[in-house]
């Protein structure tokens, strides 16, 4: 074979292999890969869509400093059938959108007006390569929201199920390892011993207070927990502090000392009659306790969930009741939510939980002075008081974080096996590697708080998706940040809202007061919305009068048949009640309201809300405001802005 033939054959084989590789389906996962670049540094994160919001002077991720940045989204838009789509962008900054090899949109905006729509873009069936490049503005907040439309009338984010990225993204894998290491640093309360400067709010995370703990926990449970926390709960973040032949005796001494820390005992009694226990069981089902817990004979058991058969061993009866009423009283960062129980509910729930738990006789704590003295000394010297509060001198000292070189993060707390007097966390190998990778960074990320990243982590830690998207009336989690205003979300998550929007549902939203504000802001920013909703222009009173007519039966859409307005109840609820219109503007983002009103089925295919407006954007009421849908939607909104001062139209 000649040299020319060999070269030709090699080129042919290479081309064939390349074509074969391209023909193989790309393995994908939800979301886009988003690479932020600030100067010479970069960080790749997972993004749910082509959205971002970075306030001026704040870093885009904890691993980058603040400053002018570039953000590059890469991945795919996948459609079931070939079709033509239009795109536009809302941006404060410069954006370029590429689909395949074509640049379909280039735009520089100030956040006040969207770009003009593109010409129709043909998307083929399956994955269509997407690249969005955004450059932050010279000054002010950076913002991006990419929208698409099939007909040019209904503009919406690209549907979450249609956005994906390649699984094999090495940059994302490496950066996720750093993020895991940083998260473990927070969750293990490392900064409580290895002190560092203030920064991210999680550096202040507490642990249950020791003040008065003797009347809130049983001695026997405390002794077992202190000896080996993970033997009691596999997901425990508390380390094993005691090692060697005296560990059992030392754990009992600490527990005995803690049992001596008494105060005013919780008051109240559990309701354990048959009727109350049945009511408690129904409450467990209504509150969806099985989203996080294994409850005997309710739901399917899951090894990742916490069993509730331990409550009698852990809590004295009145302490269980007090804990259910307000879990954060002695532990602000607890993940157990507050449900704001009605009268008698907590007593019924506590009675039911006690009835399904093991009933073991509780041993009394030792009262020998020598044992109590030993327990006190161990509490002071073993590191307990670095995380737990008690009015007692803390004698445990550790090197500040700045003095711990990366090479030292293989021993002590991070040793594979317990060694010496160091706390033992029993981290998995991948967790130790993540912490060691994090140690090799400059650790400046601990000083940077990015609400988007906070919300992403805490959504997992608080198990939000066990309810959202699973229970009737709970909006899918991926919609929340684009639906609700951050101010209202913060109040709602904190349990401070005075009303229940969907009062007819048995399920209810629990409260997480310590997490609420940053969580709400992070959710909004994830969807490209600011941390504070901009003020609206003055109310258009005349347009509000049109909106009042539009919600009525005579010449309107008959909205008041299903929706209440203030104290005026819905007139005729046939199948499903709607939320009170007086709550609309304080709750809902304007952009979401317009999408929902134009076509609610595009957002929730199961909704009972009818579709009134046509695919071409026209209104079925041509005699109102010239049949202009946009003007009619504005009229609704102006009326909703009246809030609790809004009144429904007079009857026909």
CATH number of the domain residue 546 falls in: 1.10.760.10
Q: End of a domain among 118, 137, 168? A: 168
486-537 confidence digits (pLDDT tens) = 999 999 999 999 999 999 998 999 999 999 999 999 999 999 999 999 999 9
Phi-psi region of 26 (alpha: psi -120 to 50; beta: other; left: phi over 0): beta
Whether residue 510 is found in the same domain as residue 545: no
The reported pLDDT for the residue numbered 651 is 63
Span 85-110, pLDDT tens digits: 999 999 999 999 999 999 999 999 99
Same domain, 158 and 58: yes
pLDDT in tens, 153-208: 999 999 989 999 999 889 999 999 999 999 999 999 999 999 999 899 999 999 99
Q: Where are the alpha helices (DSSP H) in 494-554?
A: 516-526, 541-550
* Same domain membership, residue 132 and residue 34: yes
User: Of 118, 144, 168, which marks where a domain is finished?
Assistant: 168
What pLDDT does 12 receive?
Answer: 42
pLDDT at 419: 76
DSSP 56: T
Nearest partner of 335 among 194, 474, 485, 519, judged by Cα: 519
- End-to-end CA distance of the chain: give it in Å, rounded: 94
Kindly state whether residue 587 falls inside one of the protein's structural domains: yes
Does residue 379 form part of some domain? no
Note whether 460 and 565 are same-domain residues.
no
Is residue 446 in a domain?
A: no
Question: Are both 160 and 37 inside the same structural domain?
Answer: yes
Asked if 449 and 201 count as a contact pair (C-beta separation under 8 A), the reply is yes
Could you tell me if 455 and 587 lie in one domain?
no
Whether 294 maps to a domain, the answer reads: no
161 shares a domain with 32: yes
Per-residue model confidence (pLDDT) at position 102: 96
Q: In terms of domains, do 162 and 51 share one?
A: yes
507 and 633 housed in the same domain? no
Instruction: Give yes or no: residues 505 and 620 share one domain.
Output: no
User: What is the model's pLDDT at position 398?
Assistant: 92
Average pLDDT, whole number, for the chain?
93
Q: Are residues 493 and 557 in the same domain?
A: no
Asked if the structure places residue 597 within a domain, the reply is: yes
Kindly state whether residue 91 falls inside one of the protein's structural domains. Answer: yes
Beta bridge partners of 542: none
- The domain that contains 110 carries what CATH number? 3.90.182.10
pLDDT at residue 575 in the model: 75
Is the same domain home to 468 and 515? yes
Contact 338, 514 (CB under 8 A): no
> Can you give the residue range of the structural domain that contains 138?
28-168
Q: Is residue 434 part of a domain?
A: no
Instruction: Tell me the C-alpha distance between 172 and 389, whole Å.
Output: 39
Which of 475, 501, 526 is the last residue in one of the domains? 526
In the chain, the number of structural domains is 3
Is 289 within a domain? no
What's this model's pTM, rounded to 2 decimal places? 0.93
The confidence score (pLDDT) of residue 574 equals 73
- Residue 134 CA to residue 113 CA, distance in Å, equals 16
Buried b (16+ CB within 10 A) or exposed e, 591-602: bbbbbbbbbbee
In 188-302, which ranges are E strands? Answer: 293-294
**Ranges in the chain, pLDDT < 70:** 1-25, 651-652
């Amino acid at each position: 074979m000649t040299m020319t033939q060999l070269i030709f054959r090699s080129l042919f084989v290479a081309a064939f292999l390349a074509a074969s590789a391209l023909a193989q389906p790309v393995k994908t996962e939800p979301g886009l890969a988003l690479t932020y670049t600030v100067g010479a540094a970069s960080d790749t994160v997972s993004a749910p869509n082509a959205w971002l919001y970075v306030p001026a002077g704040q870093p885009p991720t904890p691993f980058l400093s603040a400053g002018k940045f570039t953000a590059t989204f890469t991945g795919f838009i996948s459609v079931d059938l070939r079709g033509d789509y239009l795109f536009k962008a809302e941006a404060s900054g410069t954006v370029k959108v590429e689909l395949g090899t074509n640049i379909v949109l280039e735009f520089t905006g100030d956040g006040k007006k969207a770009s003009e729509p593109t010409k129709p873009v043909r998307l083929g069936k399956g994955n269509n390569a997407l690249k969005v490049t955004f450059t932050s503005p010279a000054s002010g907040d950076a913002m991006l929201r990419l929208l698409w439309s099939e007909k040019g009338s209904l503009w919406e984010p690209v549907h979450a199920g249609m956005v994906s990225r390649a699984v094999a993204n090495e940059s994302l894998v490496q950066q996720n390892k750093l993020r895991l290491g940083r998260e473990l640093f927070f969750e293990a309360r490392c900064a409580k011993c290895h002190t560092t400067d203030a920064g991210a709010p999680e550096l202040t995370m507490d642990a249950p207070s020791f003040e008065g703990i003797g009347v809130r926990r049983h001695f026997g449970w405390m002794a077992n927990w202190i000896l080996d926390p993970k033997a009691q709960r596999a997901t425990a973040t508390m380390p094993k502090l005691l090692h060697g032949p005296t560990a059992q005796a030392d754990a009992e001494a600490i527990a005995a000392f803690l049992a001596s820390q008494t105060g005013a005992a919780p008051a109240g009694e559990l309701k354990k009659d048959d009727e109350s226990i049945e009511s408690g069981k129904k409450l467990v089902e209504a509150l969806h306790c099985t989203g996080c817990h294994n409850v005997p004979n309710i739901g399917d058991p899951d090894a990742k969930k916490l069993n509730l058969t331990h409550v009698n061993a852990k809590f004295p009866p009145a302490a269980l009741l007090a804990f259910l009423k307000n879990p954060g009283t002695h532990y602000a960062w607890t993940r157990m939510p507050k449900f704001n129980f009605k009268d008698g509910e907590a007593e019924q729930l506590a009675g039911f939980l006690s009835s399904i738990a093991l009933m073991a006789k509780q041993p009394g704590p030792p009262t020998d002075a020598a044992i109590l003295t030993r327990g006190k000394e161990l509490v002071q010297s073993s590191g307990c008081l670095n995380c737990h509060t008690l009015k007692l001198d803390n004698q445990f000292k550790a090197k500040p974080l700045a003095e711990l070189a990366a090479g030292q993060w293989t021993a002590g707390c991070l040793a594979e096996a317990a060694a010496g007097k160091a706390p033992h966390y029993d981290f998995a190998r991948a967790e130790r590697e993540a912490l060691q990778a994090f140690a090799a960074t400059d650790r400046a990320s601990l000083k940077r708080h990015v609400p988007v990243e906070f919300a992403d982590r805490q959504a997992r830690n608080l198990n939000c998706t066990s309810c959202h998207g699973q229970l009737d009336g709970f909006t899918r989690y991926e919609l929340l940040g684009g639906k609700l205003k951050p101010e209202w979300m913060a109040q709602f998550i904190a349990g401070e809202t005075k009303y229940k929007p969907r009062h007819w549902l048995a399920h209810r939203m629990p409260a997480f007061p310590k997490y609420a504000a940053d969580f709400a802001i992070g959710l909004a920013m994830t969807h490209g919305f600011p941390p504070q909703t901009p003020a609206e222009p003055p109310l258009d009173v005349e347009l509000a009068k049109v909106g009042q007519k539009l919600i009525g039966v005579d010449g309107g859409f008959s909205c008041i048949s299903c929706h209440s307005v203030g104290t005026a109840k819905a007139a005729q609820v046939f199948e499903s009640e709607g939320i009170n219109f007086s709550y609309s503007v304080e709750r809902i983002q304007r952009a979401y309201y317009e999408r929902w009103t134009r076509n609610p089925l595009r957002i929730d295919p199961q909704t009972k809300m009818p579709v009134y407006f046509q695919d071409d954007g026209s209104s079925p009421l041509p005699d109102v405001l010239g049949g202009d849908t946009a003007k009619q939607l504005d009229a609704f909104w102006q009326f909703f802005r009246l809030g609790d001062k809004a009144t429904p139209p007079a009857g026909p």
